[in-house]
A and B are shown apart, each in its own frame.
Chain A
Amino acid sequence: MMQFLKKHIKPPYLETRDKNKLRISLLLNTLNWIVLLLSVSGLISLLFIYHFQPAQLSILGPFLAFSVGLFFGVRWMMAKGRDALGSWLLIIFLGGLLTAGVFYSGSPRVPVYAGFINLVLMAGLLIDRRASFLTATAAFLVGLVLLLAELNGMLPPLRSGPIGGWVINILLIFSTFLLVSLSSKGMDEAMLRALQENEERQRIETALRESEEKFRTIVESLPVGIQLFQMDDQDRLTLVLSNPTANQILHIEQSDAFLGMPLESLVPASMEGDIIQRYYETATMGEPTRMESYRAAEGVVLSAIDSRAFQLSAGKIVIVFQNIRERKQNEMDREKLITDLEAKNAELERFTYTVSHDLKSPLITIRGFLGFLAKDAQEGNIERLNSDIGRITEAARKMQRLLDELLELSRIGRIIHAPQTLPFDAVVKDALEAVSGQIEARQVRVEIQEGLPLVWGDRARLMEVVQNLVDNAVKFLGDQADPLICIGTAGTDADGKSILFVQDNGMGIEPRYQERIFGLFNKLDAKTDGTGVGLTLVKRIIEVHNGRIWVVSDGKNHGSVFYFTLPNPTPEPVI
């Protein structure tokens, strides 16, 4: 019941954020009620005063219906949001009543006329200054017309006595007070509400600012790079935010200058590929992306970045990334170590195998012929005794040489001088000096190509490579009348490593032997000097330098070319 009453007493339209409108609605509603109650109670009291005369009833009945209709009309207008129109209706209705009152009183001089003051006040409070002025003008015109009518004797005779006039004045004074108090109460309420709302807004703003400050500090102090990208009207992702770590990783000095730049121009070269594509997919489809990308050369990681992208909202992504160059370098170093270890293990296995065979071989000779020695002595076969001793001595010597060379070979993997940048022609020159004896003895012409590259390696070891290859070439010149050895470069391989070669025009190597010649103690010709360790040594040194070695030969008497690759001077990391 109370709920029902409250709902119907309250102004019908209150869902407004406008304080002034709210105040007017409240005031208009109150006045509307007052006017209704006053006109109804006024009519009822008039009926009692005039003792229910039917003549009056016929006039007052329609008036009652009209004032009730007016009440609902004003409410309806308020519900439609037309408060000003409702106010005008009320003012015009009251103005009509006042005019009628003045008319029946017989003169605009009577206190009823002063009721227009309240209307002027109402118009000002409910509508605006202009309405107030209009009402004042209307009151003036009504007064003027009535004054002229009175002067021409068109009004009924003056009725108001001294007491009646005083009562009406008092009524007017109090109705003025009522208006002022109602409106000031509404204003106070509106002011208070506005003040509260203002406080609330300030509180929210402060909280928001604090929260923003908090997150900004976090974002700026994080050791991971954070960037925000937003789709622009050309469907390109452009930079909106970049934290200091991101700037540092990407070498951005002035981050403001980069705001608004498209993603494509900000992604470092090391992250190219489908990463951009994937960021766009994250931005449009919302699927998070994670990827690691890196760039490396010669075992040195130049840059490595681990990045993730998340969608904030459609067309907006945040990219979180960090520099993982050190980690990647460690990983690569570890992998290289493992590969090296595996290679060394395999080498060791080969080594043991070879040693078991090749060292045992002279031992069998020695012990075998020692057995014969006793027989030779018994039989007095001095000639054979001497030749057997010779065989034993030779086998022992061979064993010694094998041991020395095995020791040498085992050193290569371990003792290695610090690698340095070396002009390869200088290495060649020094190496040739060391083998000049053999070269001159066989009267070999040696040609060194111009423009040999700079390489990266252990000088002493690389000299050994050239020395052994030249030595090998001289050894297998065969019956070549015009022996020639050529040392040069054949450009770079797929990894960018320099390809170098030592070419001869000697015996050549048949294709089926070309792999075997690098094996330990493998000799194609049992009669040649040496233990068959030279090319194994060369291969080992090249492998220690991360290079490859292979031989190309068109077969017997077509000469051979030994190619090998060596690393370029080590590049410096860029990130």
Chain B
Amino acid sequence: MIGEPMLIMLVEDNPDHAELVIRTMADHRVANVIQHFTDGQSALDYLQRRGKYSDPSLSPRPHVLLLDLRLPKVDGLEVLKAIKESEELRPIPVVILTTSEAERDVARAYHYHANSYLVKPLGFDEFSQMMNDLGFYWLAWNTFPNL
């Protein structure tokens, strides 16, 4: 694990939020590489190695996937469903990172086997703290499956 570049895949349509995540994580020196996708379709294309991502060497498996729920084209829940239904992609830890606190969304996310559900905090300090803890938990403490 040490020495290997840690890869976080971020699926987030809002460029500002993506910037927030990337910048706070950089500040906390959490991730080595953050791969950012702005919609569900391109995220799935990457994971399923279709189109421009067809070369496996250019589309390595992420260690953890941060997924927003409301996405253009293919909805976050559908991306989640597609991942968890795929024999190959299922082991990838998927953390839902969204603004929605709706019970229905939480329930559905876990129903489709999300590994964690995080609500984006409103305050900057909390947001920053969450990104720090998130990185620490998933990239430092967590043991990953061999993909």
Contact = CB atoms under 8 A, between A and B. Distances in A.
A468 to B, nearest CB: 19
A356 B101 CA distance: 8
Interface string B95-111: 00011111010000000
A368 B13 contact: no
A368 to B, nearest CB: 4
A365 B99 contact: no
A446 interface: no
A524 interface: yes
B4 interface: no
Interface string B54-75: 0000000000000000101101
Interface string A449-476: 0000000000000000000000000000
B72 A364 contact: no
Nearest to B75: A516
A369 B14 CA distance: 14
Contacts of B128: 371
B127 interface: yes
Contact of A513 (B19, B73, B100, B102): B73
B126 to A, nearest CB: 9
Interface residues of A, number: 25
Contact of A367 (B19, B99, B104, B124): B124
B20 A364 contact: yes
A360 B20 contact: no
B23 interface: yes
B17 A361 contact: yes
A357 B20 contact: no
Contacts of B102: 353, 356-357
Nearest to B19: A391
A60 interface: no
B127 A368 contact: yes
Contacts of B23: 372
> SS class of chain A's interface: helix, strand, loop or mixed?
helix
B73 A524 contact: yes
B73 A395 contact: no
B38 interface: yes
A168 to B, nearest CB: 133
> SS class of chain B's interface: helix, strand, loop or mixed?
loop
Q: What's the interface size class on B, roughly? A: 20 to 34
A363 interface: yes
A523 interface: yes
B87 interface: no
A526 interface: yes
A525 interface: yes
A114 interface: no
Contact of A364 (B13, B75, B120): B120
Interface string B2-17: 0000000000011011
Contact of A361 (B38, B99, B104): B99
B124 A360 contact: no
A365 B124 contact: no
Nearest to A516: B75
Given A356-B100, A356-B102, A523-B72, A367 B122 contact: yes
A353 B16 CA distance: 21
A147 interface: no
A365 B125 contact: no
Nearest to B39: A526
A370 interface: yes
B145 interface: no
B33 to A, nearest CB: 22
B16 A369 contact: yes
A499 to B, nearest CB: 29
B100 A372 contact: no
A525 to B, nearest CB: 6
Contact of B125 (A360, A361, A364, A371): A371
A374 B43 CA distance: 33
Contacts of A516: 75
Contacts of A395: 16
Contacts of A369: 16, 20
Nearest to A365: B16
A395 B15 CA distance: 11
B122 A363 contact: yes
Contacts of B104: 353
B21 to A, nearest CB: 9
A155 to B, nearest CB: 141
B123 interface: yes
A369 B13 CA distance: 17
Nearest to A523: B72
A422 B39 CA distance: 43
B124 A526 contact: no
Contacts of B120: 360, 364
Contacts of A356: 99-102
B100 A357 contact: yes
A353 B72 contact: no
18 contacts: A356-B100, A357-B99, A357-B100, A357-B102, A363-B122, A364-B99, A364-B120, A364-B122, A367-B122, A367-B124, A367-B127, A368-B16, A368-B20, A371-B123, A372-B124, A391-B19, A395-B16, A524-B73
Interface of B: 13-14, 16-17, 19-20, 23, 38-39, 70, 72-73, 75, 98-102, 104, 120-125, 127-128
Given A368-B127, A370-B124, 14 more contacts: A356-B99, A356-B101, A356-B102, A360-B99, A367-B124, A367-B127, A371-B123, A391-B19, A394-B16, A395-B16, A513-B73, A516-B75, A523-B72, A525-B72
